[in-house]
Structure 1
Amino acid sequence: MTRTKAILLAASALSVTSTLAYAQDAQTQAELDALRARVEALESVGPGSTPGDFRIGNTTLDVYGYVKADFFYDFEFDQGDTAFVNVIGEPSAATSGTFGATARQSRIGLLSNTPSNIGDIQGQLELDLFGSGGTAELRLRHANVRIGDHWLIGQFWTNFQPLDTYPTSVEFNGPVGIAFARQNQVRYTGSLGSDAAFSFSIEENVGGSNSDDPVITAAAEYNDGTYIARIAGLYGQAQDSGGTFEVDQYGVTLSGSARLWEGGLFQVNYTNGAALGPYLIGLGDAVVGGEANDVDAFTVELRQQLGDKWNVGISYGYEDYDLPTSTGTLAFTELETIHVNAFYQATENLTLSAEYIYGERNDVISGQDFDGNRVQFAAQLNF
């Protein structure tokens, strides 16, 4: 498998926000390399060899995933299983302190590889337990087919999302200010040399955009292991919830990271565009009063590896909408989050983690700002 494809599979298998993700620190690089080796082993099948967990005829199968238990405490507003900053300030979420726990982030995935006369054909099926309404029901995350070195068909992270520079968090979502969506799509990826690639996709629009029209994306990335630079663009249509008004939906994401010192990582993601709220963690309305809702958003993260066992980091996220938007009874134009976390590698497969999360949401009607504090602890066992 090409380096680009192996990275794509490894990123989805480990998940951009899993406890073991550690951004791209030294510990995670070893884990990604190990997963790449597993993926490459699936494709290097020779007579009599049996890589992977299972083999059916000419197809090799590999199972991956993790079991994760989260424990959290919300001080002012009950944000639920995920640190959902949008509920901060909502009277229905007010609390004098709420303890919660969940194992719903646990997931399982299956990778397959079948040689053919048009190139190796890979498949991915990944499920977690984040059902709707707080229930532990199987939910589809990824389901896709890759043909040869270039084509991906099915559900996967949107091409507009910067996977390699996504901030690390213990809780499920991570900071506001960044695109986060898994979409049905047809994507073509090409090489621009050993350290660079480009991609184009036609995708289904996200649900909050209320549009049946497809979305077109394009991206280019340079990644030499020390520096990452990426640009991605998106164009489509969005409608209000009643389908009365339709507007152009477009935007650009600029991302970069650098390892400027031993064990350190600094990375930034910036998104700007119109009607992009449904693609962002903050889920702002795409259309308000018949107009496209413009948004500026960014994340900044700093991480440091401390010896062989510890990794610590802090990230800041921000979203600023031109027009008031609401996911409840309060209207907001700004959202902010801060995540401070630490990860301890207890064994090769077991990671323990802790995180402090601060969120702020403004109410443009009352002129008030509301904030919420949360602490979270987790244990994750990878397989």
Structure 2
Amino acid sequence: MKTRCKTACLLTAGALCVTAAQATAQDAQTQAELDALRARVEALEAANPGSGTGDLKIGSTTLDVYGYIKADFFYDFEYDQGDTAFVNVIGEPSAETDGTFGATVRQSRIGLRTNTPSALGDIGGQLELDLFASNGTAELRLRHANITIGDAWLIGQYWTNFMPLDSYPTTVEFNGPVGIPFARVPQVRFTNSFADNTTFAVSVEENVGGSNSNDPVLTGSVEYNDGTYLARASALYGKAQSGTVEVDQTGFTLSGSVRPWSGGLFQVNYVNGEALGPYLIGLGDPIVNGQANDVDGYTVELRQDITPKWNVGIAYGREDYDLPTSTGTLSFTELETIHVNAFYKATDSLTLSAEYIYGERNDVNTGRTFDGNRIQLAAQLNF
């Protein structure tokens, strides 16, 4: 009851406050080739002056570099959650603090997209990296690497088809609320339309880390999106393994969003299944004591544009597991988060943001509930 009241109060308060590398010629032939390439690039740029798109065309292939630089500054009051608001560590004695300030630029990312017309339709490519390697180091990490053929086929690594990407809550913090699938996996996906504003997709995917299975995962989804209303459902089937124990990994998601008034957005996501923990933000164990760990979770978000430059929002998330997941000295079955944020678009490419984050988790060993508070500020420059 205490948790519910605290959550309700926070929700109400949040809603109200509202290389370039220099080449050295080795011989005359190499220098001539470099000069010819330079002249070609200059000619291509001259043929499209002032476009401002950043696109480079080589032959019939268009290349576009994109990404952003992001600096995050945060303060954890009770438990040091690291570069992300990782609710799983709340309550752990090793994370306890009287107050910890931190900063990171590891969320910064860079990507390359290509597009080449062909007899099969436009063939696209995407390669995207960020700096969020493991162990808190700023090292390049692969996010996306895929090939698309027309509007139908995607081959390579991308967001899992099980994830409700179009209704994912907006947050300053990297992960976002608990209670929602979040994974990038190698896959082969087929997408098609069968009615106005309605698409379906099926995929064969690699299982996510933590499921420890070598079997493929099958997913299917259907989505209706007309710009005002969105409705989506997805399903997943695979296997999870722990030692010699193997269990079915199954689940479904239901998502919806609506723009009920000018500048407003309300959206919800629900997920339910067995052994799904590795797909969720909370990362609950898929198998506990030889049994599949059932879970259900949900997120709710309300956003509002205040002016063309300002928007605010609040997002709530929750995960409930049947069986406990150990995090060291504690074990949880319940996780909750609240994100209250504001974004200011200073220019077309520069965004400043601020966020208050509340996290809560239980410990089944003692029956206690622990909470943590965090404030985060960020500046993001898109290119």
TM range (shorter): 0.7 to 0.9
Equivalents in 1 of 2:116, 2:196: separation in Å?
25
Is residue 92 of structure 1 aligned with residue 94 of structure 2? yes
Please tell me whether the aligned partners of residues 52 and 60 of structure 1 are also in contact (alpha carbons under 8 angstroms): no
Aligned residues: 335
Give the aligned partner of residue 159 of structure 1: 161
Give the aligned partner of residue 316 of structure 1: 316
Shift of 1:52: 5.2
Is residue 261 of structure 1 aligned with residue 273 of structure 2? no
CA deviations on 1:84-111 (whole Å, 9 max, x unpaired) are 0000011110000000000000000111
* 2:202 aligned to which of 190, 194, 200: 200
* 2:76 aligned to which of 46, 71, 74: 74
Equivalents in 2 of 1:223, 1:154: separation in Å?
25
Unaligned runs of at least 5 residues, structure 1: 1-47
Equivalents in 1 of 2:226, 2:122: separation in Å?
25
Give the aligned partner of residue 293 of structure 1: 293
Give SS of 1:207's match.
coil
Give the aligned partner of residue 343 of structure 1: 343
Counterpart code for 1:216: L
Query: Please, what TM-score do these two structures have when normalized by structure 2?
Result: 0.86
Shift of 1:328: 2.9
Query: Please, what TM-score do these two structures have when normalized by structure 1?
Result: 0.86
Equivalents in 2 of 1:312, 1:338: separation in Å?
14
Where do 1:104-183 residues align within 5 Å?
104-183=106-185
Q: Which protein shows a greater Rg? A: 2
* 1:225 aligned to which of 203, 224, 227: 227
Shift of 1:326: 2.2
Is residue 53 of structure 1 aligned with residue 80 of structure 2? no
Give the aligned partner of residue 306 of structure 2: 306
Please tell me whether the aligned partners of residues 359 and 372 of structure 1 are also in contact (alpha carbons under 8 angstroms): yes
Equivalents in 1 of 2:68, 2:212: separation in Å?
34
Unaligned runs of at least 5 residues, structure 2: 1-46
Please tell me whether the aligned partners of residues 86 and 327 of structure 1 are also in contact (alpha carbons under 8 angstroms): yes
Equivalents in 2 of 1:144, 1:228: separation in Å?
26
Shift of 1:53: 1.8
Please tell me whether the aligned partners of residues 251 and 271 of structure 1 are also in contact (alpha carbons under 8 angstroms): yes
Counterpart code for 1:209: S
Shift of 1:116: 1.2
| Segment drifting more, 199-208 vs 48-57 | 48-57
Is residue 358 of structure 1 aligned with residue 358 of structure 2? yes
4+ aligned runs moved over 2 Å, structure 1: 48-52, 326-329
Give the aligned partner of residue 276 of structure 2: 276
Give SS of 1:132's match.
coil
CA deviations on 1:175-219 (whole Å, 9 max, x unpaired) are 000000000000000012331100000000001101010000000
Counterpart code for 2:373: N
Shift of 1:247: 0.3
Give the aligned partner of residue 190 of structure 2: 188
Give SS of 2:359's match.
strand
Shift of 1:306: 0.2
Shift of 1:307: 1.1
CA RMSD, aligned part only?
1.3
Shift of 1:330: 1.1
CA deviations on 1:246-271 (whole Å, 9 max, x unpaired) are 00000000000001111111000000
Shift of 1:54: 1.3
Counterpart code for 2:347: T
